[in-house]
Amino acid sequence: MKAVMIMFDSLNRVFLPPYGCDWVHAPNFERLMQHTVAFDNCYAGSLPCMPARRELHTGRYNFLHRGWSPMEPFDDSVPEILKNNGVYTHLISDHGHYWEDGGATYHGRYSSWEGTRGNEGDRWKADLDPSIMVGTNIPVTDPGTLEFRTPYFHHEGVNRNHRPNAEASCGREVTNNALDFLDTNHEYDNWFLQIEYFDPHEPFYTFEDYLKFYEVPDVGMELDWPPYDKVKETPEQVEHVRMKYAALVTKCDDEIGRVLDALDKYGLWDDTMVICNTDHGYLLGEHGWWAKNAMPCYDEIVHTPLFIWDPRTGKKNEHREALVQTIDLGPTLLEFFGLPLTKDMQGKPLVNAVANDEKVRDYALFGYHCRQLNITDGRYVYMRGVEDPDEPQFSYTLMPTNMANFFGKELEGATLAPPFSFTKNMPVLKVPLREGTGGTGTALYDLWNDPKEEHPIHDEAVEERMVAELKRLLQESEAPEELYKRYGL
C-alpha cells in the first residue's frame, strides 16, 4: 500500500471548480475530482498553519492548550508511527515555517525530507542592497506591524530575484522533487509521500503564465501582499488582489496536474491512497477583512476543501456530506496502512465516509488559541466570545517557542502544571499569555439560509444545544479549567 498527500496552504474552496466556482481556471482540480470524492463539510480545527499541521500528526485538537507550536515531546506523530512500523515516510515542502523555531520539530518525524527555500520573506539568499524591497502598498494601520514586516519585505525582494519565473518557482521545485520520488520509488511498496506547497499563501507572487487567464484591474501599483487587517482599499484594489490570488490558484492547479500525470503514468491509482487538502482558507475582502487570525473564524477561513481517493472503495467523482476535520487525516492514514490509532487521537478514519458517506461526528470544534470558541453541526455555526477578559489565560507546553522565536518575558511567570492525560505523565509549563489576546463577541449563524455568515440569528433553543455540545467537546479535549471561566461556561 502507498499514500500521497498533496497539501496546499490557504486554499479557499470557493475558488475551486469542484466546489462550484465557474470562473477560476483550474482544469486539474476538475480532473482530480474525477479520481476522488470531495467532502463538502470539511472543517479546520486548530488554526492557523502550524497548529493545523500538528493536528495532521497527532489527530487531536491543540488550540485549547496553546497556539503556534512545534511538535511536543508527548505528541503522537502519524508520520513517525508509520516510519516505526515499516512505512517509509517522505516530506517534500517549501513551507518555510518548518525551518523556524516554532515548527522545527516536524520534519524530523519523517524517514526523510526535502525543503525548498524562498517563500514569503524566507531568510534565504543574502543581498545587503537596501533598495531591494517588496512592500504591500496596502495601508498598514499599526506602525509596529510595518516595522515587524520590513525584514520580510527585503528578503521577499531578494528571493524574487532568485525565483524570477514559473520554472524557477518554489512550487515548481516541490513538484520536480515529488516527481523524482515517484520516478525512483513507484515500484516499491509501503511508503507515504507528503507533497506540500506553500502556495496559494500570501504574498500572491505569480507570473504571466497564470495572470493571463484573468482581468487584473490596473490600480497603478502591484498589490500582492495584503496585511492581516481590515480592508481599507478601493473595490478595484480588492479585485486586483483577488485576481492575483486566483492566478496563484491556477499555478497550484498546474503543479497538481503534473503530479496527476505521474500517478497516471505509473498506474498508482490501483493501490495508492490520494489525499488533497489544505490547512485553512483565506479572506480576500469578505466581511471587510484580509487574510486570517485577527477576525472571527468565518466560513471562508475554516470551511476547507478535501479530496480523497481510497483504492479499496473505488468511489470517485462523488461528493460527501459527512462532517469531517483535519484531525481525521492522520487516523485515516493509520487505518489505511493497517495500524491502530493511539488512545489520545480524537479524529476518526474516513474509510466508511469515503465508501458510503457514513457519519463521522455530529459536531466539530475549531478556533485560534484564546480567541472565540467555535462549534458547528454542519448547518449552524456558534461562535462563543470571551465573557470574562480578566480571567487569565495560559499556554501549556514543553516547547516554549513562538513562530520564529523563543518565549520571552512571559516565562518569568511560568509554573509547572500537572500532566494532562495526553501529555503521557509529563508535567508541562503553564505560561501566562502576553496581553492582547481575546477575540470578538458571541454569534450564531445558519449556514443553510446564510452561507456567507452575514446575518447573525437569535435562536435560544439552538444556542442552548450548541453551548451544551461545546462544553462536551471541551471536556473531551481536557480544556484547561480557566477557559470555562473566561468564556462564561
Mean pLDDT of 331-345: 98
Q: Note the residue count of the chain.
A: 489
pLDDT in tens, 362-374: 999 999 999 999 9
Please tell me the predicted confidence (pLDDT) of residue 147: 53
Number of neighbours of residue 447 by Cβ within 10 angstroms: 17
Please tell me the predicted confidence (pLDDT) of residue 213: 98
Distance separating alpha carbons of residues 282 and 265, to the nearest angstrom: 34
Q: Where are the domains of the chain?
A: 2-357, 365-486
* pLDDT tier, 478 (very low <50, low <70, confident <90, very high otherwise): very high
pLDDT in tens, 383-413: 999 999 889 999 999 999 999 999 999 999 9
Mean pLDDT of 71-96: 98
Could you write out the three-class secondary structure of 225-277? Answer: CCCCCECCCCHHHHHHHHHHHHHHHHHHHHHHHHHHHHHHHCCHHHCEEEEEE
Please tell me the predicted confidence (pLDDT) of residue 40: 98
Query: Pairing mode, if any, of strands 428-432 and 394-397?
Result: antiparallel
Mean pLDDT of 306-322: 98
Number of neighbours of residue 393 by Cβ within 10 angstroms: 17
* pLDDT tier, 459 (very low <50, low <70, confident <90, very high otherwise): very high
Residue with cell 462564561: 488
Distance separating alpha carbons of residues 122 and 154, to the nearest angstrom: 10
Please tell me the predicted confidence (pLDDT) of residue 200: 98
* pLDDT tier, 153 (very low <50, low <70, confident <90, very high otherwise): confident
pLDDT in tens, 246-272: 999 999 999 999 999 999 999 999 999
Closest C-alpha to 170, from 88, 240, 242, 98? 98
C-beta of residue 266 within 8 angstroms of C-beta of residue 4: no
pTM: 0.96
Strands (E), 389-468: 394-397, 415-417, 428-432, 443-446
Closest C-alpha to 46, from 387, 374, 443? 374
Distance separating alpha carbons of residues 344 and 352, to the nearest angstrom: 21
pLDDT in tens, 118-130: 999 999 999 998 8
CATH numeric code, 2-357? 3.40.720.10
At what angle are helices 329-336 and 49-58 packed, to 10 degrees? 30
Q: Which residues pair with 24 in a beta bridge?
A: none
Q: Take residue 175 and report the three cell numbers written for it.
A: 513538484
